[in-house]
Amino acid sequence: MSRRNAVLPCHPESTMSDLQSIVEKQKPGARFVISAPMLGLDPVSFDRLAQSWIATGGPGFVLDGIPFRKVVNGQFFIQRVTVKRLATTV
């Protein structure tokens, strides 16, 4: 399966609530890591989600560093990202 055709997890609302919880714990301006295991996602699903954050920013944060990638079946997928919390609410 190519990364462009990857399917998001069965429960995207729980993934988003997990993400919101992680972001809300951070102070505005704080740098922190978000990883696939933190959200309960496999590397392919997390890569797809992280690609959207790279393009448009995430809910309450922006990417702040080079994503760490993991090789799965000969393809590179984003495994974790360093982000910076924005001052806005999530």
What is the mean predicted confidence (pLDDT) over 49-75?
93
Residue 47: CA atoms inside 13 Å, Cβ hemisphere, count?
20
pLDDT, residue 4, reads 39
Indicate yes or no: pTM above 0.85: no
pLDDT, residue 68, reads 96
pLDDT digits (tens, 9 = 90+) for 3-60: 333 344 444 567 788 899 999 999 999 999 999 999 999 999 999 999 999 999 899 9
Hey, where are the domains in the chain? 12-85
pLDDT, residue 89, reads 59
pLDDT beyond 70 at 67: yes
Indicate the helix (H) or strand (E) that contains 45: helix 43-56
pLDDT, residue 13, reads 66
